[in-house]
Chains A and B, each alone.
Chain A
Amino acid sequence: MEEQVSKILKNALQEIEQAKELKILEDVKVKYLGKKGELTALLKMMGGLSNEERPKMGSLVNSAKSEIEEKLEVKEMSLQSEELAKKLESERIDVTLPATKARRGSKHPLNRVIEEIEDLFVSMGYDVVSGPELETDEYCFERLNLPKGHPARDMQDSFYISPEYLLRTQTSAVQARTMMANKEKTPIRVIVPGKTFRREDDATHSHQFNQVEGLVVDENISFADLKGTLEIFMKHMLGENTELRFRPSYFPFTEPSYEVDVSCFKCGGKGCNLCKQTGWIELLGAGIVHPNVLKMNGYDPEKYSGFAFGTGLDRLAMFKYGITDIRLLYGNDIRFLTQFDRKD
């Protein structure tokens, strides 16, 4: 009987070892440990043994049983993981195939620049305001110290739609509107980004373009304040190393007036094609609000002073993103638009 146990054990272990699939292993289990299994049969025969032999054989059989069980379990686990691996392997996909995803939208470069400017000025306490694009002659010119027949109106050929109404030539029109709305009630600190229109269309001008206007009116506002503000503005937009050059100039709605150049961002001021070898690029018009403009729009020039500035956004956007042709900004070629689809 002892021999029988060791033979069964030996066979069982061998079969377990050889089993290649879980199903076969299950058969092996039944063959030895099942109700009709070989080892089970031996246990049933124990009754016929002597009292002396019974415990001895019992422990022998039980130890064989537990060894088989143990091996079965180990083998089962190993077969299970093999089979899982096989199954998963068969499910392998090509991870380099294209993803299913939404198209990435994009913000127009001009509006990106507008948002950037808005954020900067809002952080300095400015309000962003807007006004009509179809403006009256009164607000676009007359309230800005440009009476009818003024020679400076030549500088901006306009799209009139009636004798009194035109497509605004400058966001400055909103200066007068803002002052008229406030009338000394509160200090003014606003910027006005928006569309403007002039009667010209060529390689460097678009009849529709964008400007941002700034206006500050309060007591004791000086040219030095204007200078400091524009330094922050331009350094923020074009880089910390940007230098500014103020040149006295003439605009009817400011006095004194200045044109503001920035050091060329392409060559850093050494001189290149972009800056026509001058090292400077003209970017802004600015000045101290003309007392007539203050007076006409409800502010006492003896008590209040202010500064105003304006700049073309199309050029800023072009500089910022290296866009070489203004027509691209209004061309709306999908291949252009989709390039502005990420964070700055």
Chain B
Amino acid sequence: MILSTNFLKDYLDIEDIDVHELAEKMTKVGNEYDSCGKFIDTGKLVIGKVVSCKMHPDSDHLHVCQVDVGNKTLQIVCGAPNVREGLKVIVALDGTILPGGEIKKSMIRGQESNGMLCSIAELGLDNKFLREEDKAGIHELPEDAPIGEDPIKYMGWDDGVIDFDLTANRGDLLSILGMAYEVGAIYDKKVKPMDLTHKESGELKFDVKVNTENCKLFLAKKVDNITIKESPAEMKEKLMASGIRPINNVVDISNYVMLETGQPLHFYDADKLKSILEVRMAEENEKVTTLDGKERVLSSEDIVISDGKRAIGLAGVMGGLDTEITENTKNVIIESAIFNNVKIRRTSNKILRSEASNRFEKGLDPNRTYMAIERACHMLEKYADGTTKKGMAKYDDIEKDEKKIDITVTNINNILGTDISKEEIIDVFRKLDFKTETKASSETITVIVPTRRIDISIREDLIEEVGRIYGVDNVKGKVMLLPVKKGSYNKTVREIRNKMVNLGLNETLSYALVGKQDYNMFTNKDKEGIKVLTPLSEDRSYLRQSLITSLYRIYEYNKSHDLEDISIFELAKTFYKAGEEKYVEENKLACLMTGDYNLGLNTKKVDFYVIKGVAEELLDYLGYSGRYSFVQDKKICEDMHPGKTALISVNNDIVGMVGRVSPAICKEEVYVMEINLDKLLEKQVGKMKYKEISKFPTVKKDIAILIDEKVSAMDIQKVIKNGGGKLLQNSKVFDLYTGKGIPEGKKSIAFSIELGDNTKTLTDEIINETMNKITENLKSKFGAELRS
């Protein structure tokens, strides 16, 4: 809503208020603005009179003019076709800055020119307001324009305008009257009454009928014998400053009254109507041609106005072409009504958003509906010589009573955290022009809320009113006294993040929405995807089922910028559909590693064992040491290298996957890992607890065996563990060899085995016995041979 202060002054005595100050004060009571300034803001201009106008000796279209600007007469060269002797004009003097640039004294084809005679366009008036004559030549001021004065001020174009960005609940501020009450509350000024007076004669023979519950109030009046002409300059200025293009007096009046009251009106050419207006829902596929000449196909959700037979307009959104006001219109039917705001919103979203639909959507005051139609009659009489018919055709089934809300001083102070007195509170309501009733002995105040404030319905709404008019800055901040308690947060997620950072990985933040080809990559593709109904673009249309898919795109992006050493991770959710209206979201950790893992001269390239190390580091840190294993399985997804990928199993439950991205997808060695944190973290971890350090020494024995190359290290270690029994403290692989000297299909693998007993020193006999048992078991289980 653009507020013209000239317009506001019709209803509020605010002659000397600075527009910027007003904008700031409005902001403080909750009405933000986008911009604030003058309707037309130019450098200094003066009104001049062309005292002589001669053709330029060296041009066939330029004129050399002598212009009286009050204190002197200047020679100015002008190219406009309409410049002539005796004309009152707008003069930009040497040094004046206009939207098009600075005006400078100059020689034009040998003739001195000391300024410029201006057209309206040159003053910076918005293109949409320019008429043909404004584009063709300089502006012609009325004959009585005072020479030497400021023409912008003279035309009222120095109007202060504020473009407000209003909140959705304040529909009442989409009117000059609403603004007047609001500004009046700030400056403690009373709103002036609106002039509704007009004469009425002759009986109205017209009817209205409402056949839908989506219209609760519908009024019509008739004004005859109007004269279509141009609106007065002052009215046009207010319309333009408010962002509306003047057309002719009658159309302008409908817009003007809408701006004043907030109630959209519609004017019909009465002679193109039958004797009835009907409100009903449109038939499915019913057609109507709107004012803009477009044929609209409607549905049964749209409210229409009909002439009793066919739709002639879209209620609340746009009138019909057939009944529009033209230059030949003589008699006018005025419609003032309230339609269901949700229906209007849907229809206008579908067809067209307009000043009218915007107001219907926000909700209207029924008393203004009556006020506006009377005001329109007043204006049509005053500016279009119309005569109003007696009476009004109406359908009225709407609540118009003022709400009464009881509130106590304690209510207000409890919520605001203030100590405002009863008198101060009553004074706030007085400023807002809300009536109050109270007894001296009681702290209860009954507030009578005017119907214009449809946003106020409960006590808390009144508290807000007190808060904002009393002044938010007058409330002192404090910190509440609440029972002392410890705050909490999910530490584990942060510990995982810290661990990954400490392992040298960079954390990423990617989009949950990905493309159709991406959403189930790096999964077994056995889960239903979730698609957004109205995606912004194809590549953000599905919710991802794996985080790896995002990390892989990040890898590609960085690789395309020649960044090849990449170790990244992310903690985020993935999603899938588990059934009808059943959606599952899972917390996951994923990482992707490629290129050099460490820095320095001797770098290590990331391979399977590096990323496996990251997985183990994390699992050990989280307390799952000894409870996890890496298993190769046929079920590994097709986007991974089948030979270099393992499922991560904790407590024999698969919680994730680690391995190389399939070479079919990516030539480079890129390793990825993903762990389902919901699954992992539900597995309980005991408290960290000190374990007694043995007083007795342990013994280390190394063995190397020749074994079938398919037997995994893990399986061998299981056998070693069984053989070692209680005495086995640790066993680790320290050498692996295949090739020369080793038979085909075999490998040499060496283990360092640590034996010990917490209660005694081991004797050689027991040591040898245990080692023998281990090697015997390896022999019998795998046919392993001991190498010497």
- B-side contacts of A216, CB under 8 Å: 480, 482
**Digit string of A313-344 for contact with B (CB within 8 Å is 1, else 0)?**
00000000000000001111111011001000
- B-side contacts of A100, CB under 8 Å: 598-602
**Digit string of A126-158 for contact with B (CB within 8 Å is 1, else 0)?**
111010111000000000000001011011000
- B-side contacts of A125, CB under 8 Å: 482, 484-487
Query: Quick check: A207 and B417 within 8 Å, CB to CB?
Result: no
Q: Which of A101, A164, A199 contacts B598 (CB 8 A)?
A: A101
Query: Quick check: B599 and A338 within 8 Å, CB to CB?
Result: no
Q: Which of A110, A134, A220 contacts B583 (CB 8 A)?
A: A134
Once bound together, how far apart are the Cα atoms of A130 and B490, in whole Å?
10
Once bound together, how far apart are the Cα atoms of A167 and B472, in whole Å?
35
- B-side contacts of A134, CB under 8 Å: 530, 543, 575, 583, 585
**Interface range for A:** 35 or more
- B-side contacts of A133, CB under 8 Å: 512, 573, 575, 585
Query: Quick check: B501 and A105 within 8 Å, CB to CB?
Result: yes
Query: Quick check: B600 and A222 within 8 Å, CB to CB?
Result: no
Query: Quick check: B598 and A187 within 8 Å, CB to CB?
Result: no
A selection of 23 A-B contacts at a CB cut-off of 8 Å is A122-B489, A125-B485, A126-B487, A133-B575, A154-B345, A159-B533, A160-B534, A161-B531, A187-B482, A197-B512, A222-B418, A224-B418, A225-B479, A227-B476, A248-B467, A255-B463, A256-B460, A291-B460, A332-B508, A332-B557, A333-B557, A333-B561, A334-B566
Query: Quick check: A103 and B567 within 8 Å, CB to CB?
Result: yes
User: Given the interface contacts A248-B464, A338-B506, does A159 sit within 8 Å of B472 by beta carbon?
Assistant: no
User: Given the interface contacts A97-B601, A224-B417, does A106 sit within 8 Å of B583 by beta carbon?
Assistant: no
The B-contacting residues of A in range 108-131, CB under 8 angstroms, are: 108, 110-111, 115, 118, 121-128, 130
Query: Quick check: B414 and A220 within 8 Å, CB to CB?
Result: yes
**Digit string of B497-534 for contact with A (CB within 8 Å is 1, else 0)?**
10011111111111111000000000000000011111
Query: Quick check: A225 and B478 within 8 Å, CB to CB?
Result: yes
Number of interface residues of B (CB under 8 A): 92
Mark B residues whose CB is within 8 Å of A.
Answer: 27-30, 32, 167-170, 341-342, 345, 361-362, 414-418, 455, 458-461, 463-464, 467-468, 472-473, 475-480, 482-490, 494, 497, 500-513, 530-537, 540, 543, 554, 557-558, 561, 563, 565-568, 572-573, 575, 581, 583, 585, 597-602
Task: Other than A225-B479, A249-B167, A337-B506, give 11 A-B pairs with Cβ distance below 8 A.
Answer: A105-B567, A128-B490, A132-B585, A160-B533, A161-B533, A199-B534, A207-B513, A208-B513, A216-B480, A229-B479, A334-B558
Query: Quick check: A248 and B472 within 8 Å, CB to CB?
Result: yes
Q: Which of A199, A207, A256 contacts B463 (CB 8 A)?
A: A256
Query: Quick check: A250 and B581 within 8 Å, CB to CB?
Result: no
Query: Quick check: A108 and B508 within 8 Å, CB to CB?
Result: yes
Once bound together, how far apart are the Cα atoms of A187 and B487, in whole Å?
13
Q: Determine if A175 is an interface residue (Cβ-Cβ < 8 Å).
A: no
- A-side contacts of B489, CB under 8 Å: 118, 122, 127-128
Tally of contacts, chain A with chain B, CB under 8 A: 261
Q: Determine if A221 is an interface residue (Cβ-Cβ < 8 Å).
A: yes
Query: Quick check: B478 and A98 within 8 Å, CB to CB?
Result: no
Q: Which of A127, A207, A226, A232 contacts B540 (CB 8 A)?
A: A207
User: Given the interface contacts A288-B415, A291-B460, does A330 sit within 8 Å of B490 by beta carbon?
Assistant: no
Question: Which of A102, A162, A189, A230 has the most chain B CB atoms inside 10 A of its CB?
Answer: A102
Query: Quick check: A332 and B554 within 8 Å, CB to CB?
Result: yes
Q: Taking CB as reference atom, which chain A residue is nearest B28? A: A247
- B-side contacts of A123, CB under 8 Å: 487
Give the shortest distance, in Å, between A38 (CB) and chain B (any CB). Answer: 55
Query: Quick check: A224 and B488 within 8 Å, CB to CB?
Result: no
- A-side contacts of B508, CB under 8 Å: 108, 332, 337
- B-side contacts of A185, CB under 8 Å: none
Once bound together, how far apart are the Cα atoms of A164 and B514, in whole Å?
21
Q: Which of B479, B535, B583 contacts A232 (CB 8 A)?
A: B479
- A-side contacts of B480, CB under 8 Å: 216, 218, 220-222, 225, 228-229
Q: Taking CB as reference atom, which chain B residue is nearest A103? A: B504
The B-contacting residues of A in range 164-199, CB under 8 angstroms, are: 164-165, 167, 187, 189, 195, 197, 199
Give the shortest distance, in Å, between B356 (CB) and chain A (any CB). Answer: 15
- A-side contacts of B170, CB under 8 Å: 250
Q: Determine if A259 is an interface residue (Cβ-Cβ < 8 Å).
A: yes
Once bound together, how far apart are the Cα atoms of A101 and B503, in whole Å?
11
Q: Determine if A104 is an interface residue (Cβ-Cβ < 8 Å).
A: yes
Query: Quick check: B168 and A154 within 8 Å, CB to CB?
Result: yes
Q: Taking CB as reference atom, which chain A residue is nearest B169? A: A250
Q: Which of A126, A195, A200, A258 contacts B472 (CB 8 A)?
A: A258
Q: Taking CB as reference atom, which chain B residue is nearest A218? A: B482
- A-side contacts of B468, CB under 8 Å: 248, 256
Q: Determine if A305 is an interface residue (Cβ-Cβ < 8 Å).
A: yes
- B-side contacts of A300, CB under 8 Å: none
Q: Determine if A107 is an interface residue (Cβ-Cβ < 8 Å).
A: yes
- B-side contacts of A291, CB under 8 Å: 458-460
Q: Determine if A53 is an interface residue (Cβ-Cβ < 8 Å).
A: no
Q: Which of B362, B472, B561 contacts A246 (CB 8 A)?
A: B472
The B-contacting residues of A in range 44-82, CB under 8 angstroms, are: none
Question: Which of B32, B168, B480, B572 has the most chain A CB atoms inside 10 A of its CB?
Answer: B480
Give the shortest distance, in Å, between A192 (CB) and chain B (any CB). Answer: 11
Give the shortest distance, in Å, between B19 (CB) and chain A (any CB). Answer: 15
